[in-house]
Amino acid sequence: MLDRIRNYLTYSSFERNGLIVLLLLILVLMVFLGYRSYFSNNTDEFKLLDLNSILEPSRDSILTDPTSDLLVQNFDPNELDESGWKALGFTQKQAVSIINYKSKAGRFNKPEDLLKLYAVDSIKYDQIKDFIQIAKHQNKNHSLKMLEINSCDSIELVKLPGIGSYRASKILKFRKALGGFCSKEQIAETYGLNEEIFDKIKNLIFIKSGSWQLIDINTDSQKRLARHPYISEQTAESIVFIRETVGSYLLTEDLVSMDLISVNLYVKLQPYLRPVE
């Protein structure tokens, strides 16, 4: 009887191997089911996160930059100082560049004006454009006094639309070289002053008659003549050489008849030429 029971409970080597394989399969199956449950739960969480981000209420006046803790609110680029631009995510160098640009070019009139700056690329502009709110610029042209362009200083110049400190300095430098402007159109020749800006200021300025300095081709030195923007060093040398070798000029038109300057240049220069006595 005991031998029969012992034989019943005793496994052959083949049966033992089969039992081991079965146990291994059960273990693998349990591990697989455990991992499946884990990943299934995470996937559900991810789906929930995506759903929450879609259902999250939109904010029209506030934008959170996903790459930082910056909070962008509605702003007027004409009112921001250096710290304000840095708060929008610009570097100090970029902020200084923007401030310098504004001081030269004047105020921003529309959001797209920011794209004129090297510091503002299209990607950054897309991030902030919906928050740009430029206050309407009150047209003060009617209240501005007419500005006499040959006697004004930089403080008065910067009050003109589109004239920042940079353009004001260029206007004053060109005025000094000329000895004063003799016509409004000359101001448009100022370096860095485009036609758009000139159109804004031409009706706000005037030139007092005789407020510019004259040059005398019979008495002024070569150095004095050459300082004028319309007279080259070579032309100044020729003017002096001829009057010293041939004699004084009888008419200012002699500059043209002697082929010292062109007719077109003479037209520009004539208001500065003192009549020959």
The residue extents of the domains of the chain are 2-55, 62-131, 147-206, 222-272
Q: pLDDT tens digit string along 214-240?
A: 999 999 999 999 999 999 999 999 999
Tell me, what's the pLDDT at 43? 46
Q: Give the C-alpha separation, 191 to 197, whole Å.
A: 12
**CATH class, range 62-131:** mainly alpha
Q: What percentage of residues in the chain have a pLDDT greater than 90?
A: 36
Query: At residue 65, does pLDDT exceed 50?
Result: no
Q: Where is average pLDDT lowest: 12-16, 89-93, 121-125?
A: 12-16
CA–chain centroid gap for 258, Å, is 49
Q: Give the C-alpha separation, 103 to 228, whole Å.
A: 29
Choice between 54 and 111, residue whose per-residue pLDDT is larger? 111
Tell me, what's the pLDDT at 1? 55
Contact 162, 108 (CB under 8 A): no
To 5 degrees, how large is the angle CA 7–CA 11–CA 16? 175
Please name the residues in contact with 98: beta carbons below 8 A apart, sequence gap of 6 or more: 77, 85, 90, 117, 119, 120
Contact 225, 255 (CB under 8 A): no
Contact 111, 132 (CB under 8 A): yes
Q: Give the C-alpha separation, 29 to 33, whole Å.
A: 6
Positive or negative: CA dihedral 269, 270, 274, 277 = positive
Query: At residue 48, does pLDDT exceed 60?
Result: no
Tell me, what's the pLDDT at 7? 59
Average pLDDT of the segment spanning 199-213 = 90
Which superfamily does CATH assign the domain made up of 147-206 to?
AF1531-like domain (1.10.150.280)
Average pLDDT of the segment spanning 1-28 = 68
Residue type, 212: W
Q: pLDDT tens digit string along 114-168?
A: 887 877 888 888 888 788 888 775 554 445 578 999 999 999 999 898 888 899 9
Topology alike, domains 62-131 and 147-206:
yes
pTM: 0.51
* Burial group, residue 120, by CB count within 10 angstroms (0-12, 13-18, 19+): buried
Contact 188, 195 (CB under 8 A): yes
Report long-range pairs for 236-242 (Cβ below 8 Å, ≥24 apart).
Answer: none
Tell me, what's the pLDDT at 217? 94
Q: What DSSP line would sit under 208-248, residue for residue?
A: -TT-S--B-TTTS-HHHHHTSTTS-HHHHHHHHHHHHHT--
Choice between 103 and 198, residue whose per-residue pLDDT is larger? 198
